[in-house]
Amino acid sequence: MRAFEYASPKQKQQAVGLLGQQWGDAEVLAGGSDLLALMKDDIVHPKRLVNVKELPELRGITFNASRGLRIGSLMTLSEISEDAQVKEHHPMLAHAAGEAASPQIRNVATIGGNMCQRPRCWWFRNGFGLLATAPDGKSLVLQGDNRYHAILGNDGPAYFVSPSSLAPALIAYNARIRLFGPKGPREIPLEKFFVIPKSENEREHDLRPNEIVTDVIVPAPPSGVKASHYEVRQKAAFDWPYATASVVLDMNGDTVRSARVVMSHVAPIPWVSNEAAQALAGKTISEQTADAAGAAAVANAKSLGRNKYKIKLAHVAVKRAVLQAAKGGQA
Amino acid sequence: MSDQDSPKDSGISRRKFLKISAITTSAPLVLGPTVLEVEGQEVHVFGPGKVPIALNVNGKRLTANLEPRFTLLDALREKFEVTGPKRVCDRGTCGACTVLLDNKLVYACSVLAIEAQGKQIVTTDGLAPQGQLHPVSAAFVDNDAQQCGFCTPGFVMATKAFVDKHPNATPDEIARGLGGNFCRCGTYAGIKGAVAQLSGQQQKGGA
């Protein structure tokens, strides 16, 4: 790891002031579980780390009926998965947080850091850049072993997959993210926080080099909502999934009034499937309608050569999440 | 192995040799923090050179001059000779460096020493008084829950944290609860047996 200077500001204005104008100057240290590994591998090499863990306003989980849930960006995945309010109002989120990574990681990894987690793409993690472009301008992903790469939103030049399994659950609940920068706070739909970079100079988040994540706001779901998060994985514990689906069904009796279907690990961003949502609207849930939603979710998917199997896995993830939700799921 | 057990002829243990080679590559200067004025307030900026670091490890206050880039794991092993936590993957994946930080299970390789200041750090070295076995360690011995033993200190810490929180765990819960540690020898059956024994003991004891 390269040497850096370290500061622990006590106010968020100071934290922002200590961050740089451009990427590479400084990085935000929260849980550090992703950042320190990236620094050891020399993928990022900031001159300064700004530890935000001494900013008390970034802590806390509160719920009220009108605003919904407010989760401070420093809250760890353990704290979120065990919080009584999260379990009561947003059980799918508690479930997704409890399934991520390992006990040791969940004890330090924060929700803010999870939103800002960098892709696990093996070219990126081995120093070939976010877009993994060869000197001749061709994509290493398209030429190489792309078994874990994107099946949706993969028109290039980015082919990595979004690594967060919390983000799709949050987006399915229509969460918003609050950021703080030199010009003050801004709040955007979490869905819009994730962007597909078009050049090597861009990042995969709508976060400026001198902004920090302060909170995530999750609206209270209407009563009668059923939700479920399903992950297809190689291993039962401590693994990034092949494909996940988070489904929120707003029910009118046995009929779906409207649905939100969000997949992850299938595209460079958490992938909101309006096609799957439309396939479910007005339907009662059965094996057939759930399967049709899965098929609709991957109707536009395409293989890069070695990841065709992920199309089937994403289809099945959506189908099983829908069936699980209809049975009561995690909600 | 303690230093007394080391071969005497070279006059230097392997551990001391590693320490010397680490020292020769690091910067000699120790500096206090730089004070920056940010948004009208003073902020202390530490490093990139060595800065004084104080850690509370197994109830003892330990101090050293370290660069901010030193992880807790490297500080423990290379500076303080607390060698229970092992350095294997150094990427928060294998669990061999597992310690308790303010009673929370963490990977010592994925925490900076500078941010572990002011917290209580517990490693296997401090679980039981010298010469005695902690009940978790004893359960590992009883169940032959190790082969090469390199992952064992991490597993013992993970088991201690898990059993403290889940005194009556089911086999499924045990497998999930220890999901952050790997044993490349594959002694999982023994480890699960050790945890089951501990759960059984605590049930019998009415804890």
Confidence tier at B25 by pLDDT (50, 70, 90): very low
Pair B181, B164: CB distance under 8 Å: no
Same domain, B183 and B141: yes
Lowest mean pLDDT among A8-22, B5-19, B121-135: B5-19
DSSP one-letter code for B169:
-
DSSP one-letter code for B80:
S
In chain A, what are the domains? 225-326 (3.30.390.50)
Same domain, B44 and B122: yes
Domain boundary among B80, B95, B126: B126
Could you give the CA distance from residue A197 to residue B110 in angstroms, rounded to a whole number? 28
> Measured between beta carbons, which residues in chain A are less than 8 angstroms from residue B47?
3-6
> Measured between beta carbons, which residues in chain A are less than 8 angstroms from residue B92?
33, 36-37, 104-105
Give the best residue of A4, A6, A110 to mutate against chain B (max B CB count within 10 A).
Answer: A6
Q: What is the mean pLDDT of residues B124-130?
A: 93
Which residue segment(s) compose the domain that B79 sits in?
Answer: 12-126
Confidence tier at B20 by pLDDT (50, 70, 90): very low
**B159 found inside a domain:** yes
Same domain, B62 and B155: no
- A315 token code pair: 């289809």
**B6 found inside a domain:** no
Q: In the beta sheet, which residues pair with residue A71?
A: A61, A216
Domain boundary among B126, B160, B184: B126
Sheet holding A184-189, edge to edge: A61-64, A68-72, A212-218, A176-181, A184-189
Confidence tier at B187 by pLDDT (50, 70, 90): very high
pLDDT at residue A237 in the model = 82
Pair B58, B82: CB distance under 8 Å: yes
CATH number at residue B183: 1.10.150.120
**B30 found inside a domain:** yes
Domain boundary among B74, B108, B126: B126
Residue B43 contacts A, CB cutoff 8 Å: yes
Q: In the beta sheet, which residues pair with residue A174?
A: none
Same domain, B122 and B153: no
Same domain, B159 and B199: yes
Same domain, B64 and B148: no
How many folded domains does chain B comprise?
2
In residues, how long is chain B? 207
Q: In the beta sheet, which residues pair with residue B101?
A: B104, B121
- B35 token code pair: 């004070």
Residue A198 contacts B, CB cutoff 8 Å: no
Residue A126 contacts B, CB cutoff 8 Å: no
pLDDT at residue B39 in the model = 81
Nearest-by-Cβ selection for A33 from B36, B41, B110: B110
Q: What is the mean pLDDT of residues B8-19?
A: 45
pLDDT at B124 over 90: yes
Q: Is the peptide bond before A157 cis (omega within 30 degrees of 0)?
A: yes
Q: What is the mean pLDDT of residues B93-111?
A: 97
Same domain, B21 and B109: yes
CATH number at residue B99: 3.10.20.30
**B164 found inside a domain:** yes
Nearest residue to B173 via CA among A110, A237, A234: A237
> Measured between beta carbons, which residues in chain A are less than 8 angstroms from residue B38?
9, 13-14, 17-18
**B58 found inside a domain:** yes
pLDDT at residue B29 in the model = 59
Q: Which residue has the higher pLDDT, B30 or A319?
A: A319
- A227 token code pair: 């939700």
**B171 found inside a domain:** yes
Same domain, B39 and B105: yes
Same domain, B98 and B199: no
Q: In the beta sheet, which residues pair with residue A70?
A: A62, A217
> Measured between beta carbons, which residues in chain B are less than 8 angstroms from residue A105?
92, 107, 110, 180
Sheet holding A225-232, edge to edge: A225-232, A243-252, A255-264, A271-272
CA distances (Å), origin A152, targets A297, A316, B4, B76:
10, 15, 61, 45
Could you give the CA distance from residue B13 to residue A168 in angstroms, rounded to a whole number? 52
Determine what percent of chain A falls in helix, strand and coil, rounding each to the nearest 5. Answer: 30, 25, 45
Same domain, B75 and B173: no
Same domain, B140 and B122: no
pLDDT at residue B30 in the model = 66
pLDDT at residue A331 in the model = 55
pLDDT at B23 over 60: no
Could you give the CA distance from residue B78 to residue B21 in angstroms, rounded to a whole number? 10
Surface-to-core class of residue A316, CB atoms within 10 Å of its CB (0-12 exposed, 13-18 middle, 19+ buried): middle
**B87 found inside a domain:** yes
pLDDT at residue B205 in the model = 41
**B120 found inside a domain:** yes
Same domain, B161 and B60: no
> Can you give the pTM of this predicted structure?
0.92
- A145 token code pair: 């072993």
Helix B152-165 to helix B188-204 angle (10° resolution) is 30
Could you give the CA distance from residue A20 to residue A2 in angstroms, rounded to a whole number? 18
Kindly report the nearest CA distance between residue A258 and chain B, in angstroms. 35
Confidence tier at B49 by pLDDT (50, 70, 90): very high
pLDDT at residue A27 in the model = 97
Q: Express as a percent the part of chain B with pLDDT over 70.
A: 82
Flag residues of chain A having pLDDT under 50: none
